[in-house]
Amino acid sequence: MTASTTTAGSAHSADAAAGQCPVNHHGFEPFEMNDPFPSYAALRENAPVMFDERINYYIVSRYGDIKAVFDDWQTFSSENAQAPVRARSAAALKIMNDGGFTAYSGLSARIPPEHTRMRSIVQKEFTPRRYKALEPTIREHTARLLAQMLAHPDAMGDFLADVAVDIPTVTILGLLGVGPEMVPTYKKWSDSRAAMTWGDLSDEEQIPHAHNLVDYWNECLRLVADAHSLGGDNLVADLVRVQGVGAEISDHEIASVCYSLLFAGHETTTTLISNTIRVLLSHPQQWQQLVADPSRIPAAVEETLRFSPSIVGWRRKALVDTEIAGTAIPQGANILLLMGSANRDPEIFEEPEVFDLNRPNARNHLSFGFGIHYCLGNMLAKMQDKIVVEETIKAAPQLRLINPETIAFGENLSFRAPTSVPVTWEA
């Protein structure tokens, strides 16, 4: 992976060598996720709509502008939401074409009227009743994973690997009729999807990921074929059934929905769970408040979504010549909406850099987007996070972070995910 700092550094020195004024990006590095927040503050203050020539995107950083763009789907389409940020190499494309890779976005990059038609069918599957039915299994699964972690003889664990990876992955795989033994395989495919779409891979680095995407897509096609031949009590079988009673959704579209859900349905929730535990344990007093009063866990979930969102930037494309906050945006321009910055906009959130369980408007964060594409799985994600925090507080109220300053976040344009959450406890 190319380090974005190196890219920016060389661009600056090339400018300097040519005697030109270096471009001021206000510290913003598109793929750098360790601590992007100071650069967000600088952007909001100095360049709320900035063209970034390194990635060819307009970067929008203020809450009001971001919400308005999300809301105006007639002017700003989501059709680039799943486009690779870096062009796919010829070798990767050949692997994908030869492997029959024709996956398209489930919903997020589709536009009306196609999006409206498909969303109205798919969202019927995301009911509070269905979530409620999952709750006991998720709770029991969480308790089991926690017990396994807490049995470690050295009283040391990685909350991400030991708990946060499995919970949402098993849940979404189960909803789609896939067994838990497939978790490592789907994790591998999802990592490839994140890297191939939102990452900064060299041509050579793309090759193994291209093979993984082919396997992933063929598995989605197989799920739909199996639902036709075997039926079953899962979301894919349901979509095939409604297709039989007049719902306008094709097999390819159902497979694309699987392709989306088998990624969107766990990656970001694993990050949410990891971040909730990480941020709470970094604020021991607030952790103790939750231990004393678990009824405040939903507030902790919302404040984590605001303070440390799983997705810090999401994309739109201008369909016509337009403007954002007085900056002209040409037709066809790519736009990156920094929700991670919106969530810390002092115009909306008082003392935004402070993590505060008592924040009255935390739930106004934009971490699930806004408007017609608003995240379909938001309730499922929040429910799972709440259950994990409840069970953790019961099983390990003495949990502590080990060396929080060493926790790193992988390079990516959109997803800000810690690579580990090392914890310890009283043996």
Binding of residue 107 to ligand HEM (CB under 6 A): yes
By beta-carbon proximity to ligand HEM, the closer residue of 169 and 192 is: 169
Binding of residue 261 to ligand HEM (CB under 6 A): yes
CB 425 within 8 A of CB 396: yes
Find the part of the chain contacting ligand HEM (CB under 6 A) among 129-137, 138-146, 306-314, 345-353: 306-314
Nearest distance in Å: CB 257, ligand HEM: 7
Q: For residue 350, which amino acid is it? A: E
Binding of residue 186 to ligand HEM (CB under 6 A): no
Binding of residue 177 to ligand HEM (CB under 6 A): no
Find the part of the chain contacting ligand HEM (CB under 6 A) among 22-30, 240-248, 268-276, 294-302: 268-276
User: Binding string to ligand HEM for residues 37 to 76, with x set by CB under 6 A, is what?
Assistant: ---------------------------------x------
Among 160, 272, 279, 407, binds ligand HEM (CB under 6 A): 272
Nearest distance in Å: CB 159, ligand HEM: 16
Binding of residue 418 to ligand HEM (CB under 6 A): no
Binding of residue 343 to ligand HEM (CB under 6 A): no
Please say whether the dihedral angle defined by the alpha carbons of residues 262, 122, 384 and 80, taken in this order, is positive or negative. positive
Nearest distance in Å: CB 411, ligand HEM: 18
Nearest distance in Å: CB 155, ligand HEM: 29
By beta-carbon proximity to ligand HEM, the closer residue of 174 and 232 is: 174
Find the part of the chain contacting ligand HEM (CB under 6 A) among 18-26, 40-48, 205-213, 375-383: 375-383
CB 416 within 8 A of CB 36: yes
Among 61, 260, 341, 392, binds ligand HEM (CB under 6 A): 260
Burial class, 14, CB count within 10 angstroms (exposed 0-12 / middle 13-18 / buried 19+) = exposed
Binding of residue 314 to ligand HEM (CB under 6 A): yes
Q: For residue 109, which amino acid is it? A: A
Terminal Cα-to-Cα distance of the chain (whole angstroms): 40
Please say whether the dihedral angle defined by the alpha carbons of residues 244, 245, 249 and 254, taken in this order, is positive or negative. negative
CB 306 within 8 A of CB 340: no
Nearest distance in Å: CB 119, ligand HEM: 5
| Residue 359 exposure: Cα atoms within 13 Å on the Cβ side | 30
Among 149, 220, 258, 380, binds ligand HEM (CB under 6 A): 380
Instruction: Name the residue number minimizing CB distance to ligand HEM.
Output: 377
Site of interaction with ligand HEM (CB under 6 A) = 70, 78, 106-108, 119, 172, 260-261, 264-265, 268-269, 272, 309-311, 314, 367-371, 373-377, 380-381
